[in-house]
Amino acid sequence: MRVAVAGATGLVGGVMLKVLEERKFPLQMLIPVASERSAGKKIRYAGQDIVVITLEEALALKPDIALFSAGGETSLQWARKFTEAGTVVIDNSSAWRMDPSVPLVVPEVNGEVIAGGNMLIANPNCSTIQMVMALAPLHREYGLQRIVVSTYQSVTGTGIKAVRQLENERQGIEGDMAYSHPIDRNCIPQCDVFLPNGYTKEEMKLVNETRKIFGDESIAVTATAVRVPVVGGHSESVTVQFKKDFDPDRVRALLDSEPGVVVIDDPSAGKYPMPVMSRDRDEVFVGRIRRDESAERSLNMWIVADNLRKGAATNTIQIAEYMLRKGLI
């Protein structure tokens, strides 16, 4: 089993390497891949130093699996070249997510959409992943009608440059800016670029990807995405209206029994999910579960997850594990 990691020197790529090792993914050959600028560097994996190579060099090796986390333009240029060479590509960028021919997968939610012959699989947006993980068991029980989500997103979702901006600002150091505004002691109500409809790309990802994953275009979704001065871990305030009425205790039980979801919901004791507790964890944490008293059949909840792990690297690797179990690789 030869596994290539495209973007191995980046923030998500580094976490992919860590998760592959932690989960003892059954590979015999790791192929770390990056831009020509980073080629020749060494990364550490399973006690060994491995030289980083270019995409062109990796393609010639014909890996069995390629995990892409090198940006949308790179994925658009290279993903199909790898699949044509017989490599299964799992792409973490937004490049292929809404392509009707490409499955968009969270294994615990809709892994069954992957069929034999699918050589390119898309990993959803980090904010989408944690939200659908929490909503999936409730959708099965009550039927989703409308979702209102506000996100509180870590600077790690932007990349290492944003992390350095925050660190520099906290230390009073001038440096490169990932954002057009200060992020320390601030909240920026913009994640990604604005679209003609007044929403950002990040907000529309939550709308479109949620509908695709659940296979239901009738679900009404509206989103506001905000960048906050947190290093690691996205949080979401979600209000969901169901087609059927619900019992909050039953909601907690459904979430508690869902693989990959952890309920922390004892607000009177100060127990609820926070991004600090999600760091380096693969679970999705849910709390502040309560009936919305302003609308019928509506529920409020708070959802937190490590955006670099379950929101990116871990979900990508879980897709590969799912495909191996099903004999699709």
CB 132 within 8 A of CB 211: no
CA distance linking residue 281 with residue 283, whole number of Å: 6
Instruction: Please check whether residues 119 and 138 belong to one and the same domain.
Output: no
Instruction: Please check whether residues 221 and 101 belong to one and the same domain.
Output: no
CB 144 within 8 A of CB 239: no
Instruction: Please check whether residues 180 and 78 belong to one and the same domain.
Output: no
Q: Domain limits at 115?
A: 2-123+312-325
Give me the chain's average pLDDT, please. 97
* φ, ψ at 204 (rounded to 5°): -75, -25
Q: State the pLDDT at residue 210.
A: 98
Q: Is residue 172 over pLDDT 90?
A: yes
For residue 268, the domain's CATH number is 3.30.360.10
* φ, ψ at 31 (rounded to 5°): -120, 95
Q: State the pLDDT at residue 208.
A: 98
Q: Which residues are catalytic?
A: 126, 234
Q: Is residue 294 over pLDDT 90?
A: yes
Query: First CA to last CA across the chain, in angstroms?
Result: 10
HEC secondary structure over the chain:
CEEEEECCCCHHHHHHHHHHHHCCCCCCEEEEECCCCCCCCEEEECCEEEECECHHHHHHHCCCEEEECCCHHHHHHHHHHHHHCCCEEEECCCCCCCCCCCCECCHHHHHHHCCCCCCEEECCCHHHHHHHHHHHHHHHHHCEEEEEEEEEECHHHCCHHHHHHHHHHHHCCCCCCCCCCCCCCCCECCCCCECCCCCEHHHHHHHHHHHHHHCCCCCEEEEEEEECCCCCCEEEEEEEEECCCCCHHHHHHHHHCCCCEEECCEHHHCECCCHHHHCCCCCEEEEEEEECCCCCCEEEEEEEECCCHHHHHHHHHHHHHHHHHCCCC
Residues forming a β-bridge with 263: 286
Structure tokens at 230: 């947190």
Name the band, by pLDDT with cuts 50, 70 and 90, for residue 279: very high
* Chain segment 13-49, per-residue pLDDT in tens: 999 999 999 999 999 999 999 998 889 999 999 999 9
* Chain segment 93-140, per-residue pLDDT in tens: 999 999 999 999 999 999 999 998 899 999 999 999 999 999 999 999
Q: Which residues, including other chains, have CB under 8 Å from residue 223's CB and lie 6 or more apart?
A: 148, 149, 150, 151, 199, 202, 203, 204, 206, 207
Instruction: Please check whether residues 136 and 104 belong to one and the same domain.
Output: no
Looking up tokens 């240029």, which residue turns up? 77
Instruction: Please check whether residues 119 and 140 belong to one and the same domain.
Output: no
CA distance linking residue 123 with residue 112, whole number of Å: 14
Instruction: Please check whether residues 104 and 159 belong to one and the same domain.
Output: no
CA torsion, ordered 4, 6, 11, 12, to nearest 10 deg: -70
Average pLDDT over residues 305-319: 98
CA distance linking residue 268 with residue 179, whole number of Å: 37
Instruction: Please check whether residues 44 and 152 belong to one and the same domain.
Output: no
Q: State the pLDDT at residue 116.
A: 86
Instruction: Please check whether residues 212 and 288 belong to one and the same domain.
Output: yes
Instruction: Please check whether residues 252 and 316 belong to one and the same domain.
Output: no
Instruction: Please check whether residues 69 and 213 belong to one and the same domain.
Output: no
Angle at 265 between CA 124 and CA 256, to 5 degrees: 60
Average pLDDT over residues 202-226: 98
Specify the pairing of strand 284-291 against strand 220-227.
Answer: unpaired
Instruction: Please check whether residues 79 and 216 belong to one and the same domain.
Output: no
Q: State the pLDDT at residue 180.
A: 96
Kindly report the pTM of this predicted structure.
Answer: 0.95
Q: State the pLDDT at residue 298.
A: 98
**Number of structural domains found in the chain:** 2
Instruction: Please check whether residues 151 and 117 belong to one and the same domain.
Output: no
Q: State the pLDDT at residue 329.
A: 87
For residue 317, the domain's CATH number is 3.40.50.720
* Chain segment 220-274, per-residue pLDDT in tens: 999 999 999 999 999 999 999 999 999 999 999 999 999 999 999 999 999 999 9
CA distance linking residue 172 with residue 182, whole number of Å: 12
